[in-house]
Homo-oligomer: A and B are copies of this chain.
Amino acid sequence: MTTTSKVSTDCDYGKIGKQFSYLDIPHSGNESAWGLVRFPICVIKNGQGPTLLITGGSHGDEYEGPIALQKLAREIDANDIQGQIIILPALNSPAVRAATRVSPIDGVNMNRAFPGREDGSVSQILAHYVTNVILPSVDVVIDIHSGGKTLKFVPFACIHKLADPILQAKSRALLRAFDAPYCLELEEIDNRGMLDTTVEEAGKIFLATELGGGGSSTLETISIAERGIRRALCHLGLVKDKQESASLNASAYSLWETSSPGSYIHSNTDGLFEMLVELGQEVRLGEAIAQVHSISKIDTDPVVYRAKRDGIVIGRHHPGLIRQGDFLALIAGRETDEN
């Protein structure tokens, strides 16, 4: 399969030590007739142990991944690990360079492009390569997301509800080890085309995060990513750090879900957006959580949006204006099935 993919690299996945390189895809467009699109990669390998793929920059306006991952790539010493870590800090590197969610080259949302297409556009070709060349030897995937320019979240890590109870248990264990401020079993709006789905369907452990958002990053959200990944390395046995390992189960842990009806609220109004609650705040069914004002007629009453379930507000629309169809808020409740 490697032989027909358009992706080329001088990276040798079997080599011991740390390599910095690129995955290159030829792209011939108006801006560069014989150009390459380059995706940075770092591969660290030593001894025996599991293979972990860590991805960031799947969406180009989410910054915790690109920052935390390139810092980790520089800091981790190959001698300190047992197994292999593959780091792709800019899974959609043209989007990261352009600070946009989707690729400016082909308009593709990388996290809707899996399992990819060998004869597709640049993003689809990369997704195909990840699926068919990298994933087969991978045991665990950690994918660092945040809200991007249009969403904002309390910082959380998440897994999904899985049919396989063993995989579910392993995923929950990783989630607990990662120890983000909030832990979720997230119900997606539509999980087709996601890296998550491709990995899970292959029977592998998958953990994602949503850390902040609004098109920026903070000391806190980057630290959550860095600390979570380092804890995951311990948990997975890739790194032997007694102090870190000892603390893995120390912190309190509670699990949230978004599978109850009414968790997702979308706007049906165009206008000036005002949240009436803070992120992380507890709300009750029927409570006003946001309102949309007319942008042009200031003597008009706003349209009020109310919670459709009990829970805490874990996500919100970020931009100051909102339009019909935009995501407005996400409310999570306690996951009761926690065994």
Contact = CB atoms under 8 A, between A and B. Distances in A.
A276 B217 contact: no
A275 interface: yes
Interface in A69-112: 69-71, 73-74, 89-90, 93, 96-97, 99-102, 109, 111-112
A323 B216 contact: no
Contacts of A67: 272, 274, 293
A327 B219 contact: no
A11 interface: no
Contacts of A101: 28-30, 33
Interface stretch (A37-45, A132-140, A248-256): A37-45
A215 interface: yes
Q: How many copies does the complex hold?
A: 6
A263 to B, nearest CB: 12
A26 interface: yes
A33 B150 contact: yes
Interface residues of A, number: 87
A167 interface: no
B33 A320 contact: no
A295 B327 contact: no
A33 B89 CA distance: 20
A318 interface: yes
A102 B215 contact: no
Interface stretch (A154-162, A177-185, A201-209, A297-305): A297-305
Contacts of A220: 278
Interface in A298-315: 298-299, 301
Nearest to A289: B219
B320 A266 contact: no
Contact of A42 (B38, B151, B298): B298
22 contacts: A20-B298, A26-B190, A30-B61, A30-B102, A33-B150, A34-B264, A36-B266, A36-B325, A37-B325, A38-B324, A38-B325, A40-B298, A66-B293, A67-B272, A71-B293, A74-B298, A74-B301, A97-B295, A99-B319, A215-B215, A217-B275, A218-B278
